[in-house]
Homo-oligomer: A and B are copies of this chain.
Amino acid sequence: MYHVFSVDDHIIEPADVWSSRVPAKYREAAPHVVEADGREWWVYEGTRQVTMGLNAVAGKPREEWGMEPARFADMIPGCYDPTQRAKDLRADGIFASVNFPTLPGFGGRKFVTFEDKDLALACVQAWNDFILDEWCAAAPELFVPMTIAPLWDVELAAKEVERTLAKGAKALCFVEDPSQLGMPGWHTEAWDPLLAVCQEADLPICMHVGSAGSSTLLGDQIPIVEIASSFSQTARYSLNLMCSPAPRTFPDIKFVWSEGGIGWLPAALERADAQWEKHGYWSHLEGATPSEVAKRNMWFCMIEEPWGLTTREVYGYDRILFETDYPHADTTWPRTQAICKSLFADVPRHEVDAITHSNAERLFHFPLTVPIGNGAGA
């Protein structure tokens, strides 16, 4: 049996995440679910947004997939119920799971757009308290507590990370490139106070593909193009960070590129190092090369990438983390064991263990707890 540590799953937030937590005066303005026009909607600050279709397809036959919004009643309970989720995961050999937000955006960017920034902060804190006190508390040996930050204010962000660290947070969920959201980017010193807190606490920063917004659906492209080419965004954003001052100022900082894939990485590192050498002089670039930063400060993630896996010797199997992506369309669930068996057939056992769990155990400071009878020690 494969003991899987999934560094990338997704929560479909239950309807009361915010309404049960924000101060009474914010109850109408904070996200809450209403029924209207024959659908369920998230409503906040006078805006409404449908619940998600393709993001909650686990357990559905492919013939029923689509971009149409789903109701909670259309999803399997594991989408929004942590106890059911834990049961689903364990039954598939998944014994640790890092969970990304849905309504707040994969990196929590939604609240940056809120007009009332006190409300926005209350919403960030409500999501974090939901994760720490409710979701992870339902199965603390399985759910890895990852929290979001008030992205619009670096001092507030550092403070919120400190608050959640004290409550047991093991990772920070962030956006791939804050400059895409109109904030200072990685080539400034603006984020240094936050990065200092993360480095000091050895807190990995997880950046999910799409967290800075999507640029691939410009023009007339269709959804499959965005899905198939999503790795191109991770390539771009990770190269941006590899070439930025951030990992040079904070040499022990840890970045995780969630759902970005691995197979493109050797070509990217080859090209980046060559350009670093070529343009270094006039661009005033110094210090570690891009590939050195990648191998020191970054982790890359894989769902089901048989060819990609053959490239691991270029950057090292210790850089690869495994994802089950529950309940998205790419999820391995409920066939994770069969997929691992096929994917890792030709990979030495110590590398399989590293990729499926021990790299993540070390990175997140979260040792796997495998229930007796679940093949512990196998």
Contacts and interface: CB of A to CB of B under 8 A. Distances in A.
A67 B256 CA distance: 33
A242 to B, nearest CB: 8
A263 B267 contact: yes
Most B CB within 10 A of own CB, among A224, A268, A305 = A224
A65 B228 contact: no
B266 A307 contact: yes
Given A219-B177, A228-B275, A276-B224, A62 B270 contact: no
Interface in A174-221: 177, 179-180, 184-188, 215-216, 218-221
Contact of A239 (B219, B228, B271, B306): B228
B240 A65 contact: no
Contacts of A235: 229, 231-232, 235, 264
Interface in A250-288: 261-264, 266-268, 270-272, 274-276, 278-279, 281-283, 285
A224 B289 CA distance: 12
Contacts of A329: 278-279
Contact of A281 (B63, B285, B307): B63
A109 to B, nearest CB: 13
Contacts of A184: 220
A31 to B, nearest CB: 27
A308 B330 CA distance: 27
A99 interface: no
A352 B144 CA distance: 51
A314 interface: yes
Contacts of A297: none
A211 to B, nearest CB: 14
B281 A231 contact: no
Top-4 shortest CB links A-B = A263-B267, A179-B219, A185-B220, A232-B232
Contact of A224 (B222, B285, B311, B314): B285
Contacts of A268: 228-229, 231, 263-264
Interface of A: 62-63, 65-66, 177, 179-180, 184-188, 215-216, 218-225, 227-229, 231-233, 235-236, 239-240, 243, 261-264, 266-268, 270-272, 274-276, 278-279, 281-283, 285, 290, 304-308, 311, 314, 329-330
Most B CB within 10 A of own CB, among A62, A63, A229 = A229
Copies of this chain per assembly: 2
Nearest to A65: B282
Contacts of A263: 264, 266-268, 270-271
20 contacts: A63-B281, A177-B219, A179-B218, A179-B219, A180-B219, A185-B219, A187-B221, A187-B222, A215-B218, A222-B283, A228-B268, A228-B290, A231-B268, A235-B235, A261-B271, A263-B264, A267-B307, A270-B305, A270-B307, A307-B314
Given A180-B219, A231-B235, A281 B62 contact: yes
Contacts of A243: 222, 224-225, 228
Contacts of A62: 278-279, 281-282
Given A228-B243, A232-B233, A236-B232, A220 B187 contact: yes
Contacts of A66: 282
Nearest to A187: B220
